[in-house]
Amino acid sequence: MNRNINFIRRILGVIAISIAWGHPLNAQIENLKHGKLDNGLSYYIMKDDNFKDEVHFFLYQNVGAILENDDQNGLAHYLEHMAFNSTKHFPNGVMNFLRKNGLYGFDAHTGTNETQYAVYSVPTTNKPLTDSVLLILKDWCNKYYWKRKITQEISSKRHS
């Protein structure tokens, strides 16, 4: 179990939020704003006039299946799926919240070196919804939440 917790810690160690899609994240892009928060989180923001009155949210984690030990095969992908279940602020599930609010464009992907999450076409005219999607990203970045969820999942598997 400690190996799984250490894996989770490594996954959550390096996180970047990007509000840009279809563009490489590099400083040469016109209108790209980049910064780093006090906690080390890097962010990128870019205005794209092709998407008026909506915003796309992306969460990129610079880790993936490569960090799994042999006995953890599939754990990174499993965590990606768990992200759409309940979180601290969305106890009825992230997927349920998004669909209930008319947001059907969301996705996730786990690769060898990266894990990516996306929520598309959030209307900027609905500030409470936009704020809620940011809260989802915050929940996804909470290592204590993940540690608790993994511990619960492992415990439930042992008792079933």
- Residue 80 bears catalytic tag: yes
- What percent of the residues of the chain are helix, what percent strand, and what percent coil, each to the nearest 5? 40, 25, 40
CA dihedral of 33, 131, 9, 45, whole degrees rounded to 10: -10
Look at the block and give the residue holding tokens 């598997």: 157
Sign for the CA dihedral angle at 13, 87, 3, 118 comes to: negative
30, 68, 80, 114: the catalytic one is 80
- The residues annotated as belonging to the active site are 80
